[in-house]
Amino acid sequence: MRTIVLKSPAKLNLILKVVGKRDDGFHELVTLFERINLCDEIRLKNNPTGQIRIFCSHPHVPKGSRNLVYKVAQLLQQDFGLANGVDIAIKKQIPIAAGLAGGSSNAATVLRGLNELWGLKLNRKELIHYAQIIGSDVAFFLYDRSWALGTGRGDRIRQIAIQPKFWHVLVVPCIKMHSKQIFTNLHAPTVSVRNLGLTKIIDGVNILIRHLRRNDLQKAGTHLFNDLEIPILRMRPELARLKSKLRGLRPYGTVFSGSGPAIFALTESEKQAQGFRALLKRYYHQVFVVRTL
């Protein structure tokens, strides 16, 4: 029976601006995504019983309908009237509930994999439609690109060309933080999507993109920013010590990714990132050296 094996990468947000709260209850975002080489592995195998079965040794990964990969498979089954089920085996490397979009990446990877396994022949536009139904960050992972600008809920994707690859040290405290909690604690005005003044914010993102394209890490580091830092630190004030430790190492810049608690620093080289990791491992269990993928 055919098996498909796929890598499912994490992401970082180098900029995350919250423009306001939308009429639909979500928040209007502008964010710069970077795909990194911290990856889960997903194996898909046809299941002739019609069941959707999830296998994962991580104790905090749901095995049923609360998992986004289950929702992907169920949605495709229903829309295409499929009798086949699927066995989905997930080997986790990406910390969960950390702001790295591991669940969204898994969902996008399964969406692409089932399109192949089940011979659905969905094009990218159709895949993106399903991704937007499933979750806000899912669409980014359908593009085989290192960088993208996300707007709307983060689900409207514009591919960005940046040639250099960058090294980071990434620290993930053993704390689970859920996006819904963070956004609930964010004081953002309600906005009308039709009347958003996004030009100034996108101009700021374009400045960072220009510095990254030129490999000007010193200037790029000064433009890393996340509007969610305030509610992150409001909920977990002890994370301020972690950020202070990272900044004390004097990287080019440091910022929380997504809704945290993952925080990363932009470094000049793999050697510097490894040196930072050796120091930080004294205090934190989950410290990674990662690179643009």
Burial class (CB in 10 A: 0-12, 13-18, 19+), 227: middle
CA distance linking residue 248 with residue 23, whole number of Å: 41
Active site positions, annotated: 11, 137
Burial class (CB in 10 A: 0-12, 13-18, 19+), 96: middle
**134 touches 75 (CB < 8 A):** yes
**Structure tokens given for 54:** 């999830």
Q: List Cβ neighbours of 231 (8 Å cut-off, separation of 6 or more).
A: 182, 183, 185, 186
**142 touches 111 (CB < 8 A):** yes
CA distance linking residue 280 with residue 285, whole number of Å: 9
